[in-house]
Amino acid sequence: MDMARYANTSQLEGLNEIIGQENATKAMELGLKIDNPAYNIFVAGDSGTGKTTYVLSALKMHAENKNDHKDWCYVYNFENSREPIAIALDKGMGKLFKKDMEKLIESLLDELKDAFESEEFEISKNELLDDFEIEKENLLQKIKKYGEEKGFKLKNSKVGMIFTPQDEEVDTTSEEFYKVKKELENAAIQIAYKIKDIEEDAKEALLDLEYEVGKYIVDPHIDSLLERYGHFEKVRKYLDDTKNDILEYVYLFYMDEEDLKEKYDKEHFTKYKVNLLVDNGLDRCGAPVVVEINPSPANLFGKAEYEYYNGTVKTDFTKLLPGAVHKANGGYLVLYVDQLLRYNLSWDILKKTIQQGEITLDTQTAIKPEKIPVNIKVVLIGNNYMYNLLYNYDPEFNKYFKIFVDFDNEMKKNDYNETRLANFIASYCNSNNLNHFTYEGVEQVVRYSTRITGNREKLSTKFNKIVEILVEGDAYSKIRGSKYVDKEDVLKAIKERRERFSKIEKKMDESIENGFTLISTNGSKVGVINGLSVLNMGEYSFGRPCRITVTTAPGSSGIVNIEREVEMSGPIHSKGVLILNGFLLENLAQEFPLSLNANICFEQNYGGVDGDSASGAELYAMLSSLSGVPIKQNIGATGSINQKGDIQVVGGVTEKVEGFYYACKKKGLTGSEGVILPRNNLRNLVLVEEVRNAINEGRFHIYPIDRIEEAIEILTDKTFEEVKSLAIEKLKKYSELEK
């Protein structure tokens, strides 16, 4: 570390920004600035790179400058009860509107009951009815008097008005009697119709009186609400419809509760409620940022609750519940791709929602709420595999997610980034009450960060791995009673983490030490070499030598990969073996046909093998077998080859070098041991202190090479031409025998 020295990180400023993701942050900023429904964002990167933390931070910052989100309500549709109406209100007004409607009904229930039970209403009602009773009585008296003039008495019965003769001895069979009676009955029928009309008029007049009284009570309340919400067109219409409905059913507002339950639907007053679907509140600053971790269709796009009533399932607009898309409307919706793709329907509906610009709340019943216009920026968080999967197999994906934010898992190792890493450590210690790190402690964290990348020129951006060392280093510093986390605490944290995952490694060490695994680290053998492999145990990996043996004989089978024959070889390893054949053809069999039976085997390998990093070691062993020149067993080899004999870079060189070092240590280091590796892999060596010291002190050796010729000379102490000549002689004999 070349940055300015400091005593400990308490002297450094904290860091409130993400490190080493310049390209990703540029893409994110662009995506957030483009206001276009097609420019939604896909954020990809390895776990622990801080992508989720950054995304939420960036969204929160941009959300502060957006203020066009609304409150959303569903209200009753008086024209079609099956299609509730969606109403948008300025943020914070939804709750007020809901409360105002509740107060309206509460007030009207009291005031209308008082009005219709008042003495004034009873007097007006009686006066109105008295006028109609007088008119009705006049008609009855008129027909009664007329009947008396004709000699008949008027009686009321269940079937109506009946005329009977006053003189009981009158001849009821005479034509004159019948004629007069018929005339009176016809007159009575006319009077009955007039009385019916009077009663209807009285009823209408009574309803008009009730309407006027109701209107007198209701209008001021509705007018007050119109003053507050009248500038919202849909609210204005809803209030007008509400007023008309209240006046139409005004008698329900003063009816006794028992009568109301018996004669009318108890849910009648539900229609005056407001379902506040989305409440953004008066005190919320900026647009909403919603993270949905379980994006089922219901959780994303809302649903309707149900209840059982008289044996049937019922729902209504008050039972509609919002989804994450409703809550994020006007702002940002964050989804995790691996969770989203578990719900095929959610993914399809999400694309449809973006395309149509509106949310469909699917209730799966006859009720069909009005669609709500949507304006959101969707941010998907996943990895590169998920991105490529969607890009290649969903033709609609690129239509709606045009911004790709790719988080790198490493950054350049330079003074600037090392300083920012130290600032990050200072910030994390401050916010999590950890002991601050000394300069030497930070140096070890930087080295650990480099080791994670496997490249001495890089630093890791997997900050979750670094945080683990910060937390555990802090614990060890407190155990030893120190105020600061020093180098020894960081090294102990790294060592103890390794110990916790090293059960398999220790068992393999015991197997080598006890001689169960046949590994030689001294002497020389023909056709035998120590190849180097890496075993991955979850987040933990370690290197181990593996004895590779090659046998050769006359024949025409060519090179036989024993692992492949028993289906323990991966395709890349099989490719590496086939490359050996190309090298032999060009370098050893130009003057005669190649006739060869060669068997290659990874001895005591029971778990399969893949990768081409052992192809170099396999070729060295094959040349040894053909030439009869023995190979030193104290030198391990890694590196892939091409058909021209160039040595190519491989992965895991740090673990391979350390693995061979520890194996040699178990067998007893003599100071002659070492590892052959590709020269271009030197930048990938980030070794533990013990191995570094052994190399620096000449007790262990690194042999970087570019060509196979260099490897042969190191392994055999002979020139490549000498070994090649002997191998060609052997192959000539094989060719002659084959003839």
Q: List, for residues 538-553, the tens digit of each pLDDT value.
A: 777 888 888 999 998 8
> In the sheet where 85-90 sits, what is the strand order?
85-90, 70-75, 274-278
Token pair listed for 364: 């799966």
What are the distances in angstroms from CA 540 to CA 48, 91, 503, 536, 651? 16, 51, 11, 6, 15
**Which pTM does this prediction carry?**
0.80
Q: What confidence tens digit (pLDDT) does each residue in 85-132 have?
A: 999 999 889 999 999 999 999 999 888 888 877 777 667 666 666 666
Decide which of 3.40.50.12500, 3.40.50.300, 3.30.70.270, 3.30.830.10 is the CATH code for 22-69+286-406: 3.40.50.300
Q: Angle, nearest 10°, between helix axes 503-513 and 653-667?
A: 40
The boundaries of every CATH 3.40.50.300 domain in the chain are 22-69+286-406
Return the pLDDT at 122.
67
Distance separating alpha carbons of residues 136 and 200, to the nearest angstrom: 12
Evaluate whether 567 touches 526 at the Cβ level (below 8 Å). no
Return the pLDDT at 236.
95
CATH number of 518-738: 3.30.230.10
Compute how many other C-beta atoms are within 10 angstroms of the C-beta atom of residue 697. 9
**Segment among 188-202, 513-527, 631-645, 701-715 with least mean pLDDT:** 188-202
The boundaries of every CATH 3.30.230.10 domain in the chain are 518-738
Cα angle: 82, vertex 84, 85; to 5 degrees: 145
More confident residue, 454 or 502: 454
Closest CA to 614 of 634, 638, 631: 638
Compute how many other C-beta atoms are within 10 angstroms of the C-beta atom of residue 641. 25
- Beta pairing partners, 120: none
Q: What confidence tens digit (pLDDT) does each residue in 276-327 have?
A: 999 988 667 789 999 999 999 999 999 988 877 666 778 889 999 999 999 9
- What is the third-level CATH fold of 410-501? Helicase, Ruva Protein; domain 3 (1.10.8)
What does the pLDDT average to over 34-47? 94
Evaluate whether 635 touches 675 at the Cβ level (below 8 Å). yes
The boundaries of every CATH 1.10.8.60 domain in the chain are 410-501
Distance separating alpha carbons of residues 323 and 359, to the nearest angstrom: 10
Report the catalytic residues.
Answer: 613, 656
Q: What confidence tens digit (pLDDT) does each residue in 351-396 have?
A: 999 999 999 887 677 789 999 999 999 999 999 999 999 999 999 9
Return the pLDDT at 213.
80
Count of residues making up the chain: 739
**Segment among 203-207, 230-234, 346-350, 435-439 with least mean pLDDT:** 203-207
